[in-house]
Structure 1
């Protein structure tokens, strides 16, 4: 036969010491200062991200081709997608950083059991999540923007560069080189293909486009 279970006995604990009182005051101070610290950190991150974006875009610290149409079709499409991702990440990052710095644009629900400390604790957790998300989004925005500009640097041209050459027999010609075979340069100019002897060249230079 099992003995009857005795209920737990609840009694007063030991008296609080001066160290316990100081620790409680410190926890209360940290809890009271948590939300202002998160707000101040969010303002700093927001201002730093804004200055970085302004330097990259407005002042042209990172520049590429001014006309994406100069790139090959696939590279131009990739640059457009990267710029779109950078725009979306930048907008989300700006919203999240402002959310962390100033709070959510909605009223708090008040209840009979709602206390100020509990409300601030929930807001601190939400602001921290928004701050971390804003930092991640702004970092992704910078990464996508740099990748887009780098693609404009190293991406292939939509059309190959033209060359201008001269020989005593043909005079001055301008077109695109389509190949080289047996010491002859195959030049496409004006819708026709001309073979020029390389040893007879008197002038050869690259130009952006033929006149």
Structure 2
């Protein structure tokens, strides 16, 4: 048989600790959402900088790559887009909440509901950060393969051979 009895009376320290926990729970969702907004903006800037950098120099046409390398670049870019979209959606979910509206009366009370939402937003934030970093790595890999993969041999390279007596001035088409 189990007997239930009241415990010792609460002290002032117990009351303060309970108030601190309640205050942390009340502000928890706002803190997670603010962090998600900051991460979203920072990672968006990182991707913009990366895409801008990739346009500065290096090959821009994958048709000049040796056979098979163009397909690899395509797969890397497709995976980067998929990871980027999934990461962006996760970051938006973390920053702004779910894309659904719950019927009135189905939500738990405010402190518990806010805590559950804060936990879900924190999970979405972690997932979004990982996916956007994966997207960045895949973009870097695609740009690296585009720049450093072997070139195709033959007429698919797009170069024009100049007659032997034509001076090479550095203007006009690329002469080989």
TM range (shorter): 0.7 to 0.9
What is the aligned partner in structure 2 of residue 139 from structure 1?
133
Cα distance change of structure 1 residues 73 and 139 upon mapping to structure 2, 3 Å threshold: same
What is the aligned partner in structure 2 of residue 71 from structure 1?
65
How far residue 62 of structure 1 moved from its aligned partner, in angstroms, is: 2.8
Question: Would you tell me which structure has more helix in proportion to its own residues?
Answer: 2
CA RMSD, 1 decimal: 2.5
How far residue 22 of structure 1 moved from its aligned partner, in angstroms, is: 0.8
Correspondence 1:115 to 2:109: yes
Unaligned runs of 5+ in 2: 166-172
How far residue 111 of structure 1 moved from its aligned partner, in angstroms, is: 3.3
Normalised to the residue count of structure 2, the TM-score between the two structures is 0.84
Please say which structure displays the higher CA radius of gyration: 1
1:59-98 to 2 correspondences below 5 Å: 60-63=52-55, 64-98=58-92
Cα distance change of structure 1 residues 50 and 120 upon mapping to structure 2, 3 Å threshold: same
Paired residues, number: 164
Unaligned runs of 5+ in 1: 1-6, 165-170, 174-206
What is the aligned partner in structure 1 of residue 147 from structure 2?
153
Give the number of the structure with larger relative contact order, counting CA–CA contacts within 8 Å between residues 6 or more apart.
2
Question: Would you tell me which structure has more strand in proportion to its own residues?
Answer: 1
What is the aligned partner in structure 2 of residue 35 from structure 1?
29
Which of 96, 114, 121 is the matching residue for 1:127?
A: 121
Higher mean alpha-carbon deviation, 117-126 vs 74-83, is at: 117-126
| Distance of 2:53 and 2:8 partners within structure 1 | 65
How far residue 48 of structure 1 moved from its aligned partner, in angstroms, is: 0.4
1:111 match: secondary structure: coil
What is the aligned partner in structure 1 of residue 169 from structure 2?
none
What is the aligned partner in structure 2 of residue 178 from structure 1?
none
Contact 2:107 2:113 in 1 (8 A): no
How far residue 154 of structure 1 moved from its aligned partner, in angstroms, is: 1.1
List, as ranges, runs of 4+ consecutive aligned residues in structure 1 with deviation greater than 4 Å: 207-210
| Distance of 2:38 and 2:104 partners within structure 1 | 31
How far residue 209 of structure 1 moved from its aligned partner, in angstroms, is: 5.4
Normalised to the residue count of structure 1, the TM-score between the two structures is 0.71
| Distance of 1:126 and 1:112 partners within structure 2 | 17
| Distance of 1:151 and 1:113 partners within structure 2 | 50
Which of 77, 85, 96 is the matching residue for 1:102?
A: 96
